Amino acid sequence: MQEILTVSEITGQIKKSLETDFERVSVIGEISNFKSHFSGHWYFTLKDAGSQISCTMWKGFNSTVYFSPQDGMKIYVNGKISVYPPRGTYQIDVRSMKPAGEGELQAAFEKLKRKLSDEGLFDVQFKKEIPRFPQKIGIVTAGDSAAFRDLMSVASRRYPLVKIILGSSKVQGEGAAKEIARRINELNRVKGIDLIIISRGGGSLEDLWAFNEEIVARSIFNSKVPIISGVGHEVDYTIADFVSDLRAPTPTAAMELATPNKEDILQFISEKINSCGDSIADKFQNYREEIESFAKSYGYRIPENIVREKSQQLDNLMYKVTNSITAILNAKSNKLKIAEAVVKGHDHKKILGKGFTMISQNGKFISRSSEFSRKIDFTIRFKDKDVKVGKDDKKESK
């Protein structure tokens, strides 16, 4: 007989199959129905002329996105397919996102440039003086890059007495801007740093984009140590160039501006630094491969998937609770307004204003003739005042 499965069982099998076969996907499409949840997660639809697919980008990943996603924007996303069992739907669990084309990047560049310029981050009055004889220079760049080797070569040739502190960082791709900013902040805490150089070699607008992100610009502006930027080739300009205390056209020129000219060369130091950097990079690569192999296993991803699913369930529940509370408050408010109108409609002052009077005996208003006693004093209430009528007054009226 054919095996009969429960809904949860068949969904679980589909989930395992999809998440195993599509653990790495790259997709291009147009953003639709973009929503930034107050939890920090992003929910949106990626579509083209024929199809659409739901996407989720968690807070920890979308913090690396350097532009503001908007409906209608064409983008590339990288991630994996995940299944949300409570609804039986699948989606892209987005890990990185970037605009599709330099036109989108250029627009983002100009927008951020105008914003920071209006805030005064480019003003000359905030530029710090570059020291003439720095004893210790911090460098933020990729430790295994040609740019770093050029910087070290120039430092050794021109000013071998200077001490170099490397804040090795990614200079391109996902998370690069955040890492550059972190290295700048770390070098600011190193005792005796006189100057910082941020640098990388040339490339396309997309290659250099890490130096066009707001987090890097603000780290440069907030640095207590003077900063020279040497990013790309002479024709390349980045946001970092405008915020830095001094801009150099190339990484080599940055070190030339940072150091006085000396003839002595300490080639041994330069070679040892490069050798140590390569050795450390090899060890990191070996450890990285072991960790990645372990992380790829489906069993390792189960706890992560559970957290993701519960987080999405919590977002949906909080959305329902918020709507329910709003509906209750609106209903209560409407009832209160109706009650207020009824109370105002029965206001005795309005009745008295129309020429009617009210009679009371023994502190109680009389509503029927049968309740009235001729033997007891009474009070007539008019709009403007109360008039007391006693026994003597009644005799006179007879």
Which superfamily, per CATH, for 106-289? Answer: Succinyl-CoA synthetase domains (3.40.50.261)
- Please report which helix (H) or strand (E) contains residue 14, including its range: helix 7-21
Domain 7-100, what fold? OB fold (Dihydrolipoamide Acetyltransferase, E2P) (2.40.50)
Answer for the pair 243, 221: CB distance below 8 angstroms, yes or no.
yes
Long-range Cβ contact pairs of 361-366 (< 8 A, separation 24 or more) = none
Q: Which residue has the higher pLDDT, 36 or 279?
A: 36
Q: Which residue has the higher pLDDT, 265 or 185?
A: 185
Q: Mind giving me the DSSP string for 159-201?
A: -TT-EEEEEE---SSTTHHHHHHHHHHHHHTSTT--EEEEEE-
pLDDT at position 54, please? 94
pLDDT at position 251, please? 93
* Residue 398 banded pLDDT, cuts 50, 70, 90: very low
* Residue 66 banded pLDDT, cuts 50, 70, 90: low
CA count, 13 A, side-chain hemisphere, 19: 23
Contacts of 163 (CB under 8 A, 6+ apart): 135, 136, 137
**Each residue's pLDDT tens digit, 184-211:** 999 999 999 999 999 998 888 878 988 9
d(CA 152, CA 139): 10
Read off φ and ψ for residue 99, nearest 5 degrees.
-65, 150
**Each residue's pLDDT tens digit, 319-358:** 888 888 888 988 888 888 887 777 766 666 777 777 788 8
Please tell me which of 171-180, 343-352, 374-383 the model is most confident about, judged by mean pLDDT: 171-180
d(CA 281, CA 287): 10
List, in sequence order, every beta strand (DSSP E) within 156-314: 163-168, 195-200, 227-231, 246-247
Burial (0-12, 13-18, 19+ Cβ within 10 Å), 37 = middle
pLDDT at position 393, please? 60
- Structural domain spans, the chain: 7-100, 106-289, 309-345, 351-397
Closest to 203 in 3D by CA, of 175, 174, 235, 177: 235
pLDDT at position 104, please? 66
Answer for the pair 258, 225: CB distance below 8 angstroms, yes or no.
no
pLDDT at position 67, please? 67
Residue 298 has pLDDT above 80, yes or no: no
Contacts of 228 (CB under 8 A, 6+ apart): 130, 195, 196, 197, 198, 244, 245, 246, 247, 248, 254, 257, 258
Residue 107 has pLDDT above 80, yes or no: no
**Each residue's pLDDT tens digit, 115-151:** 999 999 999 999 999 999 999 999 999 999 999 999 9
- Please report which helix (H) or strand (E) contains residue 82, including its range: strand 74-84
Q: Which residue has the higher pLDDT, 341 or 359?
A: 359
d(CA 118, CA 41): 30
* Residue 397 banded pLDDT, cuts 50, 70, 90: very low
pLDDT at position 341, please? 74
Q: Which residue has the higher pLDDT, 281 or 267?
A: 281
Read off φ and ψ for residue 17, nearest 5 degrees.
-65, -50
Q: Which residue has the higher pLDDT, 338 or 393?
A: 338
CA count, 13 A, side-chain hemisphere, 70: 7
